[in-house]
């Protein structure tokens, strides 16, 4: 029966549930992805804001996706550190799994770059990448790889970086042969996150780029970066020999003082 509820109807169900059966107030929907819907809610007394994320109604009967959603909750609980929102509570609303987590009152890098038009120098881009790697190392140490480190899933608040959406995350496999990885985005080891971080770094670097020629060229030609930076990104993107670990990628970040233009 629940298969026939539209997502819209579920928005109302969530709203009524929050307002009538919990200590929170419903505020608004803040995100709609392919697997989930996120809402902003607030504590009725303290006015502190939180996020409720639910599974999309159309997936309600898909056992695999339900398990994936529960895995996302368990991973967030397992990670439990400052730069990843903690889960406060989880349950089901009319058989639809949901969880409530801390709200990061910041902006995604997608908003920062494309809405606010913020520009990042090479130095700033490398510093942000360093901070990102330091966070990623922490969950890699717990055997978790995020596999979706895109600009809408990385947030900036008060100069701090936060990572959300562990919907595609997985536990790392030990015996992945780096030479046999065909699709780095879906690799079940650290390579996936490094690959996404390579693209993330390119988004930061492109924030200062203004096309001069009509014809699109490769990022290497367009950005004209110092050779050490180009080589670094090429290693993240597996164009050159990959880093042997996330720690290796962190210690290999080119030092600004040593960059030759
Ligand atoms: N804890 C949070 N704090 C602040 N904003 C959040 C939080 N969680 C989610 N959001 C917002 O809601 C949006 C959707 O959340 P999320 O990416 O977790 O959902 P999703 O359905 O899995 O998305 P997709 O299917 O696109 O990956 C985010 O892009 C972000 O703008």
CATH 3.30.200.20 residue ranges in the chain?
19-102
Rounded distance, CA 189 to CA 245, Å? 10
Tokens in use for 253?
Answer: 């970040």
Q: Which of 106, 147, 164 for a ligand 1 pocket mutation test, highest count of atoms within 8 Å of Cβ?
A: 164
Ligand 1 within 6 A of 167 CB?
yes
**Cα–Cα distances in angstroms (integers) from residue 140 to residues 42, 79, 164, in the given order:** 32, 10, 15
165 CA from centroid of ligand 1 (Å)? 6
- Per the structure block, which two tokens stand in for 32? 């709609």
pLDDT at 260: 52
Instruction: Tell me how crowded residue 120 is: count the other CB atoms within 10 A of its CB.
Output: 21
Which pLDDT score is estimated for 259? 62
> How is the beta sheet containing 87-93 ordered, strand by strand?
24-32, 36-43, 49-55, 96-102, 87-93
pLDDT of the chain, 261 residues: tens digit per residue:
444 457 888 999 999 999 999 999 999 999 988 889 999 999 999 999 999 999 999 998 899 999 999 999 999 999 988 999 999 999 999 999 999 999 999 999 999 999 999 999 999 999 999 999 999 999 999 999 999 999 999 999 999 999 999 999 999 998 888 877 889 999 999 999 999 999 999 999 999 998 887 788 999 999 999 999 999 999 999 999 999 999 999 999 997 766 654
Residue 8 assigned to a binding site: no
User: What is the widest separation between alpha-carbon atoms in the chain?
Assistant: 64
Q: Is the CB of 225 under 6 A from ligand 1?
A: no
Alpha-carbon distance of 10 to 94, in angstroms, equals: 9
**Would you state the pLDDT for residue 178?**
80
The closest-lying atom of ligand 1 relative to the alpha carbon of residue 105 is: 4
Task: Specify the residue with its C-alpha closest to ligand 1, atom 11.
Answer: 31
The answer to whether 129 and 254 have CB atoms below 8 angstroms apart is no
The rounded Å distance from CA 90 to ligand 1 centre is: 16
**Residue 55 contacts by C-beta under 8 Å, 6 or more apart in sequence?**
35, 36, 65, 66, 69, 96, 97, 98
Residue 30 Cβ < 6 Å to ligand 1: yes
Which pLDDT score, from 0 to 100, does residue 1 have? 45
For ligand 1, the distance from its centroid to the CA atom of residue 214, given in whole angstroms, is: 35
* Strand 87-93, strand 96-102: pairing: antiparallel
Residue 72 to residue 78: CA distance in whole angstroms:
10
Beta strands in 35-147 (DSSP E): 36-43, 49-55, 87-93, 96-102, 107-108, 144-145
Reported CATH class of domain 19-102: alpha beta
Calpha distance 47→42 (Å, rounded): 5
Domain covering 107-258, topology: Transferase(Phosphotransferase); domain 1 (1.10.510)
Q: In ligand 1, which atom is closest to the CA atom of 103?
A: 3
Q: How far apart are CA 35 and CA 253, in angstroms?
A: 34
pLDDT for the residue numbered 2: 47
R_g over Cα of the chain: 20
Residue 168 Cα: closest atom of ligand 1: 27
Q: In a mutational test of the pocket of ligand 1, which residue from 30, 34, 114, 154 has the highest number of ligand atoms less than 8 Å from its CB?
A: 30
Question: What DSSP letter does each residue of 123-161 carry, written as one string?
Answer: HHHHHHHHHHHHHHHHHHHTTEE-S---GGGEEEETTEE
- For ligand 1, the distance from its centroid to the CA atom of residue 253, given in whole angstroms, is 29
Q: Where in the chain is the domain with CATH 1.10.510.10?
A: 107-258
What per-residue confidence (pLDDT) applies to 90? 96
Q: Is residue 34 lining ligand 1, measured as CB closer than 6 Å?
A: yes
Question: ipTM of this complex > 0.90?
Answer: yes
What is the SS3 assignment for 34? coil
> What tokens does 50 get?
């939180």
* Ligand 1: centre distance to CA 194 (Å): 21
């Amino acid at each position: 029966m629940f298969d026939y509820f539209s997502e819209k109807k579920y928005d109302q169900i969530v709203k009524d549930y929050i307002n009538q059966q919990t200590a929170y107030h419903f505020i608004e929907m803040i995100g709609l992805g392919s697997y989930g819907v996120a809402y902003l809610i607030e504590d009725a007394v303290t006015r502190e804001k939180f996020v409720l994320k639910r599974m999309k109604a159309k997936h309600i009967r898909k056992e695999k996706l339900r398990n994936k959603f529960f895995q996302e909750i368990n991973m967030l609980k397992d990670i439990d550190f400052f730069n990843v929102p903690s889960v406060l509570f989880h349950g089901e609303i009319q058989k639809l799994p949901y969880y409530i987590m801390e709200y990061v009152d910041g902006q995604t890098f997608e908003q920062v770059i494309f809405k606010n038009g913020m520009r990042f120098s090479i130095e700033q881009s490398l510093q942000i990448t360093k901070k990102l790697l330091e966070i990623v190392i922490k969950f890699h140490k717990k055997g978790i790889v995020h596999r979706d480190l895109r600009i809408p899933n990385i947030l900036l608040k008060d100069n701090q970086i936060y990572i959300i959406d562990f919907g595609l995350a997985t536990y790392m496999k030990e015996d992945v042969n780096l030479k046999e990885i065909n699709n780095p985005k879906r690799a079940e080891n650290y390579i996936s996150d490094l690959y996404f971080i390579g693209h993330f770094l390119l988004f930061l670097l492109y924030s200062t780029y203004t096309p001069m020629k009509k014809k699109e060229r490769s990022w290497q030609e367009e950005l004209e970066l110092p050779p050490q930076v180009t080589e670094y990104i090429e290693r993240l993107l597996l164009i050159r020999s990959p880093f042997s670990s996330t720690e290796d990628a962190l210690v290999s970040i080119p030092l600004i003082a040593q960059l030759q233009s």
